[in-house]
Structure 1
Amino acid sequence: MNDAADGIDDTQGESTARATIGLTGLAVMGSNLARNIARHGHTIAVHNRTTSRMTAMLEEHGDEGDFVGAESLEDFVAAIEKPRVVLVMVKAGPGTDAVIDDLVPLLEDGDIVVDCGNAHYADTLRREERLKEHGLHFVGTGVSGGEVGALNGPSIMVGGTDQAYERLGPIMESIAAQVDGEPCCAHVGEGGAGHFVKMVHNGIEYADMQLIAESYDLLRSVLGLSPAEIADVFKQWNEGELESFLIQMTADVLRHTDAATGQPFVDVVQDAAEQKGTGRWTVQSALDLGVPITGIAEATFARSLSGHADQRAAAREVYSTSPEGERVDRDRDEFVDAVQKALYASKIVAYAQGFDQIAKGAEEHGWDVDLGQVAKIWRDGCIIRARFLGRITEAYAAEPDLTTLLTTEYFATAVKEGVDAWRDVVATAARTGVPTPAFSSSLAYFDGLRRERLPAALIQALRDNFGAHTYQRVDREGTFHTLWAGDLSETEA
């Protein structure tokens, strides 16, 4: 319901604020999140810079719950019970800073500003410090699940202080997706932890989608299957360990026929994948932290490559437009099974690398992040929701200080059972000229991880030779340098 017939409540002059929470920024995500909150029995104040958008939302959805509309930020803030909780749902970057600049003078000690956009966690850290100077709590919160999730129950990753979560948490937990009676919402850590975890979630999402795309490409290029036939394959895969939102969605997309041309829908979509930046941020952060996330990185670079239309056109003029590899005659069922196993093994690597990055980021910033809890709140509501996230939760519950997911019994067994097929698929891709950067890099990471001795020893020797960067030995403690330009004697550095 609304307080005013025109959908706008003039709160000016009211002595009692009655909204439990407020939200500014009513584009699709913000509008859906506000509706979700109202549907769960919370009175919510809503505001948008363009008043007509707010009015339209209330006219269309005002009967879904108790909304308090406000034309001005002053009226909006006045409508919220203290300590105020204000959700900001605007475009990340300067737009968020502009809204915060307008809000700060209107707020009081102890009020809470919650950024629910896809912000870079470094911006969250900066904003948190700035608002702390004004006696305000700033909470970076990752919300995953897209427009549908925002309305029906997203996965929510909340950062900020314990004190802020005491006020904010019950509301967010009530609107989140639920699994076995548990909300897919948690206070994942202090400071920028919420946006950091959401960033890595999106990086894993990049890897997941690239691996799915490579699987599709292999089945089509090597076996010659049609999109509709591949849709049936993915539907079958979704009934086993690969069950996930993205696998199910892939089957739906590949089965779809374009109404205008009658062609498979996937064939009329340009093959240039866009990105909004979270995958790139994930890779940049991993480089800073020294964490190898090869599957996520290659997935991000694959999107970049797809968008280099001029380079791709120039290359096609020089090289064959079809893969310059040998033709292979593969048994259909055998190869489908091999690709399934390769996909699962590569997926395990991508998630293992993502959780490694979260652990390292938490260590670097002093956040107390429960990795098992992160996996638990990703089981539903978010884009990468999948059956095997329950396995990750179990792994960290059994061993909280787990070095890598790849060494746990369940995942180690899955990789061991699939590694021969994994190698077969990568080799077949290389022979037939089908690019599989995520499959190949994930396999290389696995081989590097399990190798007793890596060629990094030669790299260290070369670094010492040209730059006197020193090295350590395997047979005694210390740091050493060889006089390469002199008598080749060794000195202790």
Structure 2
Amino acid sequence: MDLAMIGLGRMGGNMARRLLRAGFGVLGYDQASEAVRALEAEGLVAAPSLEALRGLLPAPRTVWLMLPAGAITENTLSELANVLEPGDLVIDGGNAYYKDSQRRAARLAERGILFADVGVSGGVWGLENGYGLMLGGTPEVARRLEPVLRALAPSPDSGWVHAGPVGAGHFAKMVHNGIEYGMMQALAEGLNLLRKKREFGFDLARLTEAWRHGTVIRSWLLDLTAQYLASDQDLGDIAPVVADSGEGRWTVLEAVELGVPIPVITQSLFTRFESQDEEDYDERLLAVMRKMFGGHGVRKAQD
């Protein structure tokens, strides 16, 4: 058995599948037993509990976590600290805050347990296309993990990087996601402007498809956008609510701490916040103010 994968949700499950296809022995654990059963048919060996990892994995053990940031990751690492032994390695591949990763690495180091943080990008397409991987850890840990990274990446020699010491992997992924926010916002705003120019009758599906070839803005995000618009340009069934996973917030907070201006990323984050505001209280207040000082009409909510 080469390593354990803890957390077999959509991302973790597909990463386990990619490793299994590459010939790795993968031991898996997830609180959702159906996620484990779905992978057993593909060669995954199920672990009945976290405590069982010590007996099922040969030392030195490698345990890769793909769990949500926050309490779930924190509690799992606390359990693993009592299970693993000096020389074992824990990798956090979730979207954790980099300062949490640094703190966790220091805590595990007191027990002689190694830690690495890996920012993972690729989404639902990673199983077939490979994952972008940003590793934070010591050079020794990077050498130890290299075979796994080469198997998960789009190709053995591209798409993965040893970004720096512990914390660097999650910091790089944090900024990556902040850039993603800005790119998505620019595409959305530009296409909305084109749609509102009614006199030209732009076919956004044909236009975005054309942009995919030879233009400066060609990108995977544009590819995915063009793919969806080819089937639906009106988006009538899509609620105008955009979630934020937390990494955009961390990026903006870090920029404030460092005094680095990132206006595009910041505004794209605030736009997401605005889309999540069901009350729209500030916009209602603006309408009232305009009525009070200028006598302008106010539309009622049912209008």
| TM-score normalised by structure 2 residue count | 0.89
Q: Are the equivalent residues in 1 in contact too, given 2:53–2:83 (CA < 8 A)? A: no
Name the counterpart of 2:95: 118
Distance 2:151 2:26 in 1: 14
Name the counterpart of 2:13: 31
Distance 2:131 2:87 in 1: 27
**1:220–1:52 Cα change, 3 Å:** closer
**1:114–1:82 Cα change, 3 Å:** same
Q: Are the equivalent residues in 1 in contact too, given 2:135–2:164 (CA < 8 A)? A: yes
CA drift of 1:58 comes to 1.5
Secondary structure of 1:310's partner? Answer: coil
Name the counterpart of 1:5: none
CA drift of 1:230 comes to 1.3
Distance 2:159 2:279 in 1: 43
Q: In structure 2, which of residues 230, 237, 241 is the aligned counterpart of residue 255 of structure 1?
A: 230
Secondary structure of 2:31's partner? Answer: coil
CA drift of 1:158 comes to 0.7
Distance 2:199 2:164 in 1: 48
Distance 2:87 2:259 in 1: 37
Secondary structure of 2:181's partner? Answer: helix
Q: In structure 1, which of residues 219, 223, 242 is the aligned counterpart of residue 217 of structure 2?
A: 242
Aligned counterparts, 1:51-450, within 5 A: 51-59=33-41, 62=42, 66-150=43-127, 152-178=129-155, 182-223=157-198, 229-240=203-214, 241-257=216-232, 264-311=233-280, 314=284
Q: Are the equivalent residues in 2 in contact too, given 1:33–1:151 (CA < 8 A)? A: no
Q: Are the equivalent residues in 1 in contact too, given 2:17–2:39 (CA < 8 A)? A: no
CA drift of 1:219 comes to 0.5
Q: 1:113-141 deviations in whole A, cap 9, x for unaligned?
A: 00010101111111011111110111111
Q: 1:163-221 deviations in whole A, cap 9, x for unaligned?
A: 1112112211122112xx62211111101000000000000000000000110111011
Name the counterpart of 1:409: none
CA drift of 1:76 comes to 2.7
Q: Are the equivalent residues in 1 in contact too, given 2:89–2:113 (CA < 8 A)? A: yes
**Higher alpha-carbon Rg:** 1
CA drift of 1:315 comes to 6.3
Name the counterpart of 2:27: 45
Distance 1:71 1:225 in 2: 62
CA drift of 1:100 comes to 0.7
Distance 2:230 2:288 in 1: 34
CA drift of 1:278 comes to 0.8
Q: Are the equivalent residues in 2 in contact too, given 1:32–1:151 (CA < 8 A)? A: no
The residue type paired with residue 26 of structure 2 is: I
CA drift of 1:318 comes to 5.7
**1:102–1:304 Cα change, 3 Å:** same
Secondary structure of 1:194's partner? Answer: helix
Secondary structure of 1:110's partner? Answer: coil
The residue type paired with residue 42 of structure 1 is: F
Name the counterpart of 1:469: none
Distance 2:129 2:220 in 1: 15
Q: Are the equivalent residues in 1 in contact too, given 2:64–2:92 (CA < 8 A)? A: yes
CA drift of 1:51 comes to 3.1
CA drift of 1:224 comes to 5.1
Distance 1:49 1:86 in 2: 16
Q: What is the number of residues matched between the two proteins?
A: 288
The residue type paired with residue 248 of structure 1 is: D
**1:288–1:133 Cα change, 3 Å:** same
The runs of 5 or more residues in structure 2 that have no matched partner are 291-303
Q: Are the equivalent residues in 2 in contact too, given 1:143–1:150 (CA < 8 A)? A: no
Q: 1:405-446 deviations in whole A, cap 9, x for unaligned?
A: xxxxxxxxxxxxxxxxxxxxxxxxxxxxxxxxxxxxxxxxxx
Q: Which moved more, 1:306-315 or 1:236-245?
A: 306-315
Q: Are the equivalent residues in 2 in contact too, given 1:256–1:265 (CA < 8 A)? A: no
**1:224–1:141 Cα change, 3 Å:** farther
Runs of 4+ in structure 1 over 4 Å off: 223-227, 315-320
Name the counterpart of 2:295: none
The residue type paired with residue 184 of structure 2 is: M
Cα RMSD for the two superposed structures: 2.1
Distance 1:22 1:224 in 2: 58
The residue type paired with residue 213 of structure 2 is: E
Distance 2:128 2:74 in 1: 25
Q: Are the equivalent residues in 2 in contact too, given 1:46–1:76 (CA < 8 A)? A: no
Secondary structure of 1:128's partner? Answer: helix
CA drift of 1:161 comes to 1.3
Secondary structure of 1:182's partner? Answer: coil
Distance 2:223 2:200 in 1: 18
Q: Are the equivalent residues in 2 in contact too, given 1:137–1:161 (CA < 8 A)? A: no
Q: 1:95-122 deviations in whole A, cap 9, x for unaligned?
A: 0011111111111111110001010111
What is the identity percentage for the equivalent residue pairs of Structure 1 and Structure 2? 36
